[in-house]
Structure 1
Amino acid sequence: MDVIDVWTGERASALQKALRLTNERFAERLGTAVRTVAKWHANPLAQLSAELQEALDTVLYEAPAPAKARFGLLIQAGSTLATSPTATDLTEAEKRLHADPHIGSALAWLDRAADWQPGTARQRVASALVSLNPMALHDRGQRRSGVNREQVASALRSFYADMPPGYGTYSARYGDGQRVRTSVLTCADWLDLVCPLTPEHDHAELVSETTPPVTVDPPALERAIRRVAETLEMNTRMVDATLYRLAEIDISRGRLAGAFGLSSFVEYALTMDLLEGELVDVLAKGEQPTAEMLPLRQRYLPDVQSVLDVDKRLCAGGALALCAIARPPGLRRAKADYLLLVQERGGRVLNAARRLAVIPKSFHEPLTDYLDDTQIGATLRREMEEELFGRDDVDGTLGAQRRADPMHPSRLSAPMRWLTEHPDAWQMECTGFGLNLVSGNYEYASMVVIHDETFWIDYGGDIAANWESDSLRQFSSVDKDFLTDLVGDTAWSNEGLFAFLQALRRLAEVGDRRVNLPTVEWELE
């Protein structure tokens, strides 16, 4: 047998077996990576690239006669040696494809959404994984990192030109007349809310209705398949957590009501969360996005009304807060102030990766009590424990939650227990609400202000960011010039800047002598 019409993973593996070569020796013969050869064992149906097709043709042509004979027998027998790879043959990505329950949930969702036979999505993702080029993904990441917040906000404001009266994208003037803009759709009634995050003011309902069915056409399915493959290749965390989806908006000054339903992170990650990458890829080419260039956006979020109709779509989102902690004067500070914390998000998160954001920042999701956890304050208290106070056991990405009440007073960290025992020493408020045009997410901009210096004296050394952050930066509330420069930093995520600006406005009102902040005046564009 000297000719093969199409080389598949199975046929390439059969040739390797006929030549009696290890993965390393076979990869060297073909001029490819060992991990590529290993992928053929994991995905026998994969069709190889044109370059590898030619390389395999050459290796087969040059093979000695006994090896050709063995290869012919393997092909004729319909060899399935690649269908049950041993663990040592698999890359880490392929191990996750076979064993990670969260990836399994994504595959099951794809099979359901496409009305495929079970197992079809696994084969499609495995095929996509084989074809991925890690260097190309790295290069794409570099190109995407060159697109800043202002470019995204400007492009989305142009795309959504059908803005109804009273609504606009959040922008602000600050300092000496500088101006920044975001992609957060909002209105006057959703800003400067001065809403304490307590049960009296923060009481959305939980409705039992399920997420409206998502219609997925073939192009959208291909993007979703590639997303799963890239998640495996880049070792990004994908956890199929339950998310609250916004079902009804009812927000006014001092009051958060409305309703939430339930959805899943996998469905969000494979639909709405794909819109950002699609947009940024167009902007990275230096082009002005049009509807034709953004087919996913046209399907899921084509106009402003579709953004506002949260009951008719999957609207996930979360809460994020600027954390301000009172400090006494010290060796490096002549004045008492508030420590302001800002994080740089890490590269393994799916949301706002490599961007500046306030901390804590989280998807709004239940922990164990689906009814009470609809409170935005519940999410922020949990995230303070996880992202600032070192409570890994409330991090839903690290494992299943088996405790009946992870936020029971007996389980709280020492810093959170102190705050719980001193309710008059701090305040937690929602300062604004908006819908982020990037992916249609809802954003509850908030702030956490600890007024008692005792907290910093006793627990300042216990504060540390978790795995979601690459770094944690601190700023002083009396350093007006540095804060002015920080506002203008193009590395901010849109929702992060929205929350930061709204918190600065409120902190100027409650901070007394501990603040010297740049003036912030919001506008609707």
Structure 2
Amino acid sequence: MEVVDVWTGQRANALQRALRFTNEAFAERLGVNLRTVAKWHAKPDVQLSPEMQEALDTVLFGATEQAKARFGLMMTAGTATDPDRNGETSTAKDKDLIAAEQRLNSDAHIAAALEWLDASAGWAPGTARKRVAAEVVQLDASELGDRTRSRGRVQRADVAAALSAFYGTPMDGHGTYRATYGDGREVATSVLTHADWLDIACPLQPDSDRAALVGSTSSEPLPLDDVSIDGAVRRTAETLGLNTTMVDAPLYRLIDVDVGKQRIGGAFGLTSFVQYALTMDLLEAELVDALAAGREPSADTLPLRTRLMPDTASVLDTRNRMCAGGALALTAIARPPSGRRTQPDYLLLVQERGGKVLNAASRLAVIPKCFHGPLTDYSDDTQIGSTLRRELEEELFGRDDVDSTVTSSQRHADPMHASRLSQPMAWLAAHDGTDHWQMECTGFGLNLVSGNFEFASLIVIHDETFWTTYGGDIAANWESESLRRYSSRDRNLLEDLIGDRAWSNEGLFALLQGLRRLAQVGGSRVDVPAIEWEVR
């Protein structure tokens, strides 16, 4: 609970607002006349009498937890202003408000975001904390709900079309990834790619997965302007107000890429999730909000995008901008015939992302899907395969201790040591380099939504005994709202899946590339729609 050393008119006003009392109700609660409360509004700097200090201490001590949270945020912000609301917030929102106040005071990851904001904006230490607290106090639960629903009505195809219009004609053989499937149906994505980056069938093993870590980048990130600062403050406040997860884990930042048939090369630097979340990740919300409001994408309607990634050249210039991203894989597990399923097939897994994640929230995606970042060995972990192995453990095999979104600290010298692996992962490790299973990168692209790099991949377990033995151990983690199962032999259902409007752009990219490769390696277990891609 916020402790008040000296009550002033301003602090008394803040308590009144936190309690949602009218002047009359506040005066009655304190046992003073109405003119006294009015005086506090007129003279916020006045220091109150010892008797009134004690009375206000008593009222604060007896307030509800959500009122104490509101008061604490107002005290942090140094303001007594809190627009009138129509009635109390819902119980769920009250809990989020309490959590927001607690996280602002004790969450090390939010503290890292505030410290980064102060430094990047050139503010005195503590300024970001006050501005974010003031923004949290001003959040309107109904407005946030309306915005979330409006964003939900903007489909993946709308985003892809808007970005294609914004960036115009591609350059040097690059273009957005599009595909024709089944009976001629078409889909388009926002993934900027190149013919040389597709169907690369690169085994995610050390001899072909060879991107290196460099000690530093060649340039500093762009300094924040007023538009960027406002967006970062708002994102931090909404993270608190909606109780969304934000962990300041280290991430790899793409510097150079060299992708081709059966090889991945290039260079990564290091950044942090907070720096990504408060810069490039803001571009998606800006775009979706503009589309939801019916505004055409332009420099005027997308000022952040115009500042951070204005054209195709800047998208491709990963050395001189923030370019975080990750890997995502279509997982296919061989199954024997069973019940109505009279022929052997592969089980294909698709996740519906939850609403509390910052990336592809409430969208369809393949699983695993993850940011590319180090766990303990910053050099060896630059391999895309290292990240995907870790994410298999986290997202499907139940290893919470390798989940960097839960904690950014790791005390085990080798969390992926053979002695610590889950039983399913230990089976895969024991069969590395055999025909029992394979893990490949199927394509690479740069997502125009936030400029992320995307390594689309495929994980295929060919040995039926894996499913027979470990099928019951496979479960999605907290990032997924639910897990869907599809058969690799159900062509019609897979066509419907491809056409589902709920896909994220990068998820659809990985699904299509994964199905193309599965058709080549899966033999008689596979009857998927024919898929032909183009880049334009």
TM-score (norm 2): 0.86
Offset from partner CA, 1:180-238 (integer Å, 9 cap, x none): 00000001000000100000100111101146223101121111011111101111110
Matched, 1:151 2:158: yes
Q: Is the 8 A contact 2:335 2:468 kept in 1?
A: yes
User: In structure 1, how many angstroms separate the alpha carbons of the residues matched to 2:326 and 2:430?
Assistant: 27
| Shift in Å, 1:113 | 0.3
Match of 2:207 among 200, 203, 206: 200
- Would the alpha carbon gap of residues 507 and 40 (structure 1) be closer, same or farther in structure 2, given more than 3 Å must change? closer
Q: Secondary structure at the match of 1:192?
A: strand
- 2:412 alignment partner AA: R
Match of 1:219 among 223, 227, 240: 227
User: In structure 2, how many angstroms separate the alpha carbons of the residues matched to 1:4 and 1:497?
Assistant: 58
| Shift in Å, 1:22 | 3.3
- 1:238 alignment partner AA: M
Match of 1:132 among 116, 139, 164: 139
Q: Is the 8 A contact 1:204 1:374 kept in 2?
A: yes
- 1:438 alignment partner AA: V
User: In structure 1, how many angstroms separate the alpha carbons of the residues matched to 2:275 and 2:402?
Assistant: 22
Match of 2:315 among 267, 287, 307: 307
Map residues 164-313 of structure 1 onto 2, 5 A cutoff: 164-210=171-217, 212-313=220-321
Matched, 1:45 2:78: yes
User: In structure 2, how many angstroms separate the alpha carbons of the residues matched to 1:293 and 1:373?
Assistant: 39
- Would the alpha carbon gap of residues 185 and 41 (structure 1) be closer, same or farther in structure 2, given more than 3 Å must change? closer
Partner of 2:443: 432
Match of 1:487 among 494, 498, 506: 498
- Would the alpha carbon gap of residues 372 and 136 (structure 1) be closer, same or farther in structure 2, given more than 3 Å must change? same
- Would the alpha carbon gap of residues 44 and 495 (structure 1) be closer, same or farther in structure 2, given more than 3 Å must change? closer
Match of 1:406 among 415, 419, 422: 415
Q: Is the 8 A contact 1:324 1:339 kept in 2?
A: yes
Q: Is the 8 A contact 1:46 1:130 kept in 2?
A: no
Q: Is the 8 A contact 2:76 2:130 kept in 1?
A: yes
Unaligned stretches of 5+ in structure 2? Answer: 1-35, 88-94
- 2:367 alignment partner AA: I
Matched, 1:512 2:523: yes
Q: Secondary structure at the match of 2:214?
A: strand
Partner of 2:484: 473
Offset from partner CA, 1:357-391 (integer Å, 9 cap, x none): 00000000001001100000000000000000001
- Would the alpha carbon gap of residues 348 and 10 (structure 1) be closer, same or farther in structure 2, given more than 3 Å must change? farther
Matched, 1:22 2:55: no
Q: Secondary structure at the match of 1:183?
A: strand
Partner of 1:496: 507
Map residues 444-463 of structure 1 onto 2, 5 A cutoff: 444-463=455-474
| Shift in Å, 1:153 | 0.2
Q: Secondary structure at the match of 1:224?
A: helix
- Would the alpha carbon gap of residues 9 and 175 (structure 1) be closer, same or farther in structure 2, given more than 3 Å must change? farther
Q: Is the 8 A contact 2:256 2:268 kept in 1?
A: yes
Partner of 2:426: 417
Offset from partner CA, 1:63-84 (integer Å, 9 cap, x none): xxxxxxxxxxxxxxxxxxxxxx
User: In structure 2, how many angstroms separate the alpha carbons of the residues matched to 1:118 and 1:432?
Assistant: 44
- 1:175 alignment partner AA: G
Matched, 1:141 2:148: yes
- Would the alpha carbon gap of residues 386 and 36 (structure 1) be closer, same or farther in structure 2, given more than 3 Å must change? closer
User: In structure 2, how many angstroms separate the alpha carbons of the residues matched to 1:44 and 1:168?
Assistant: 46
User: In structure 1, how many angstroms separate the alpha carbons of the residues matched to 2:475 and 2:67?
Assistant: 39
How large is the Cα RMSD of the aligned pairs?
A: 2.4
User: In structure 2, how many angstroms separate the alpha carbons of the residues matched to 1:317 and 1:409?
Assistant: 28
Q: Is the 8 A contact 2:82 2:137 kept in 1?
A: no
Match of 2:400 among 377, 392, 398: 392
Match of 1:464 among 471, 475, 482: 475
Q: Is the 8 A contact 2:329 2:368 kept in 1?
A: yes
User: In structure 2, how many angstroms separate the alpha carbons of the residues matched to 1:44 and 1:263?
Assistant: 29
User: In structure 2, how many angstroms separate the alpha carbons of the residues matched to 1:114 and 1:299?
Assistant: 15
Partner of 2:23: none
Deviates more, 1:439-448 or 1:139-148: 139-148
Matched, 1:353 2:353: no
Matched, 1:380 2:388: yes
Matched, 1:109 2:116: yes
Q: Secondary structure at the match of 1:135?
A: helix
- 2:128 alignment partner AA: A
Match of 1:95 among 95, 102, 107: 102
User: In structure 1, how many angstroms separate the alpha carbons of the residues matched to 2:298 and 2:475?
Assistant: 43
Matched, 1:337 2:337: no
Number of residue pairs the alignment of both structures matches: 485
- Would the alpha carbon gap of residues 16 and 380 (structure 1) be closer, same or farther in structure 2, given more than 3 Å must change? farther
Offset from partner CA, 1:299-349 (integer Å, 9 cap, x none): 100000000000001100000000000000001311100000000011111
- Would the alpha carbon gap of residues 40 and 358 (structure 1) be closer, same or farther in structure 2, given more than 3 Å must change? closer
User: In structure 2, how many angstroms separate the alpha carbons of the residues matched to 1:116 and 1:7?
Assistant: 29
Unaligned stretches of 5+ in structure 1? Answer: 28-32, 56-87
User: In structure 1, how many angstroms separate the alpha carbons of the residues matched to 2:294 and 2:61?
Assistant: 41
The percent identity for this pair of structures is 59
Partner of 1:318: 326
- Would the alpha carbon gap of residues 248 and 11 (structure 1) be closer, same or farther in structure 2, given more than 3 Å must change? farther
| Shift in Å, 1:135 | 1.9
User: In structure 1, how many angstroms separate the alpha carbons of the residues matched to 2:56 and 2:429?
Assistant: 69
| Shift in Å, 1:133 | 1.0
- 1:390 alignment partner AA: G
Offset from partner CA, 1:268-317 (integer Å, 9 cap, x none): 00000000000000111122221100010011000000000000011000
Offset from partner CA, 1:16-67 (integer Å, 9 cap, x none): 975677359889xxxxx73674345543512514548xx9xxxxxxxxxxxx
Q: Secondary structure at the match of 1:208?
A: coil
TM-score (norm 1): 0.88
Partner of 1:121: 128
Offset from partner CA, 1:88-131 (integer Å, 9 cap, x none): 9x822111001000000000000000111111111111111111
Deviates more, 1:39-48 or 1:402-411: 39-48
User: In structure 2, how many angstroms separate the alpha carbons of the residues matched to 1:214 and 1:226?
Assistant: 19
Q: Is the 8 A contact 1:6 1:47 kept in 2?
A: no
